[in-house]
Amino acid sequence: MKSMIWIILSGILMAISLPGYFIPFSFVFGFIILFNRLKDANLKETLYYSFISGFIFSLLAFYWTVYAITYYGGVSIFLGIPLLFILAAVFSIFQFVSSSLIFYFFKRRYKLSALLTFPFIWVAFEILREFFPFGGFPWNLIGYTLSYFNSIAQITSIFSVYFLSFLAVFIPSIILFSYQKGRYPFIFSFVFVSVLILSLHFWGIYRGEHFNTVGIDKKVAVVQANITEDVKLQNKEPLKVIDSYVYLIKEAYQESPDLIVLPESALPFFFIGGDETLKRYFLDKIKDIKVPMLLGSDTAFYKDNRLFIYNSVILLDENKNIVDMYHKIKLVPFGEYVPFPFKIFSSIFPYLEGYDFSAGQEKKVLTFKEWKIVPLVCFEGIFPNFVADFSKKGNVIVNISNDAWFGKTVAPYQHFEMARVRAIETGLYLIRGTNTGISAVITPIGSIKGKLGLFKEGVLTSQVKLQKTETFWKKHHILLTGIYVILLIIIILIFEIKKERKNG
């Protein structure tokens, strides 16, 4: 019973370091508790301890999914809660149990020294989560427990958020390892960790003060209409929704912006392939707004007698002609499409019925005059490698989203923090336009130039710079992603050599 209490506490302490909770460094104690249990555990205990810790972590990290599918998805709370438990169990097995199981086999061969392999193992599974399953789900990487410290987060411009994840696991592992070795190794490791954190902190401050912000000055206006999700889903008063946006667009126009940004699925009609009456009504209302506009809208196309529906970003010129568009590539599994073979459950989950969205095929930078916009739709902003590759040809990122699904939970704060780190990793300004918040303009060093909070209606205007910045991570993200696995192999080889010498 005592072990159960401690292992539950470990999961809680790790989770409450995440954005939305953010109790600084509580994750260190959470990992130390888990590692302390795992270091002497047999196989059965390893599976048990790691699963419970990960399960509790997942419940706190992803509880908002229940709100989304029950309040807006039409799913009963009596089904929503078991689904959360399934998600928590799957996540725990994928990240916590898998990492701990590999550690167990290393521990049998390398004893306590195997603790030093755990950070590499953990990050390897986080990287895997960017691609698998169902196209990836890298939400709540453990590195976001450290990214809140913006000075420390600057290192992501070189090594990405995965290095922060490595650091978050390395700190407790080296502390526990050295503590088991004796007083002096423990003191040395404590000093080493302190110097490392302080070095990253002061380097981050230096980078922030000396970052090159040379570029083309532009003013953007972000429209946040605060349309609740039930209004969007029922779509009973489309003209009222359109008028809300028209009013805010006209308000934004008074600030003489160079670009007006509307959020994901902003308007209550398909901009292409939808109700032309509503579309003409909207365009007629804003015909005198002679400013380019970027907006999110569902679009429908027929090809070879098949219907393709996309979650799109559309760029309009000052005369409201379509300049170009981008179709979302990274779709939300069980939100925008149902992965095979789960379509059979659509009758149980009302929100899964109907057409699936189709995935876009091209990372298309939207170009207009000086603008080279990297369009990220909602979920796409949480993928470090995807964004790094996409942003190479752009000079500004626009991340549009509809976070109304999350309600007043921790999810909007988690989503916002993940997008903020993408600005640092890529060295570009990031304009974030959301339906209900958090909308913001974020600098290439992660500073917030302006922000509209949750469930606020308004217009955010801010200066940005269109600049071509090549961060180390953006240039070498493929190589750097593989380095964690390479370093793990090198450490294992070192352990093997030492073991051979000792036995010899």
Tell me the CATH number at 432: 3.60.110.10
Same domain, 290 and 368: yes
What pLDDT score does 156 carry? Answer: 98
Same domain, 123 and 239: no
List, for the chain, all residue ranges whose pLDDT scores fall below the cut of 70.
1, 343-354, 504
Same domain, 251 and 119: no
Same domain, 123 and 228: no
Neighbours of 12 (CB within 10 A): 19
What pLDDT score does 70 carry? Answer: 85
Q: How many angstroms separate the Cα of 102 from the Cα of each of 41, 119, 155?
A: 13, 12, 28
Closest by Cα among 296, 232, 299, 244 to 268: 232
Question: Mutual orientation of helices 26-38 and 43-62 as an angle, nearest 10°?
Answer: 160
Same domain, 493 and 465: no
Which pTM value belongs to this model? Answer: 0.94
Question: Containing H/E element for 292?
Answer: none
What pLDDT score does 351 carry? Answer: 60
What pLDDT score does 501 carry? Answer: 76
What pLDDT score does 68 carry? Answer: 86
Contact 363, 329 (CB under 8 A): yes
Amino acid found at 34: L
| Cα 431 from Cα 495, distance rounded (Å) | 47
Cis peptide upstream of residue 438 (ω within 30 degrees of 0): yes
| Number of domains into which the chain is organized | 2
Same domain, 403 and 306: yes
Same domain, 188 and 46: yes
Same domain, 38 and 179: yes
Same domain, 187 and 238: no
What pLDDT score does 393 carry? Answer: 92
What pLDDT score does 257 carry? Answer: 97
Same domain, 238 and 381: yes
| Cα 412 from Cα 94, distance rounded (Å) | 24
Same domain, 54 and 152: yes
Same domain, 47 and 179: yes
Q: How many angstroms separate the Cα of 489 from the Cα of each of 38, 290, 445, 483?
A: 22, 58, 33, 10
- Backbone angles phi and psi of 464, in degrees to 5: -130, 165
Report the Cα–Cα distance between both ends of the chain, in Å, rounded: 44
Sheet holding 322-327, edge to edge: 322-327, 306-316, 293-303, 259-261, 216-224, 458-466
Domain that holds residue 286: 216-469
